[in-house]
Amino acid sequence: MPELSMDKINKHLLSSITDREFDVLRLIYEGNTNNQIAQQLFLSLNTVKVHLKNSYLKLDASSRTMAIARLREFITK
């Protein structure tokens, strides 16, 4: 699986993802659940969901699967 790069992702987006959104996206890309992400990043579950919602908007994705597909598309271009 290709490694995620915030620079590669952001060059495809109108609104750049933040460092924290990138941390959350990296962990969903690796297959973690929202609860696992919250524990690893010392965030509340609600905060993880807010970061995901914002990331989905920026990625033009409506689901976790679609967000991962968009990330794969961006890092292979």
pTM of the model: 0.93
Q: What does the pLDDT read at residue 2?
A: 75
DSSP letters, 30-53, are TT--HHHHHHHHT--HHHHHHHHH
pLDDT tens-digit series, residues 14-57 = 999 999 999 999 999 999 999 999 999 999 999 999 999 999 99
Q: What does the pLDDT read at residue 76?
A: 87
Please check whether residue 22 is in contact with residue 9, taking contact to mean a CB–CB distance below 8 angstroms.
Answer: yes
What single-letter amino acid sits at 54?
N
Q: Locate the domains of the chain by residue range.
A: 6-75
CATH code of the domain occupying 6-75 = 1.10.10.10
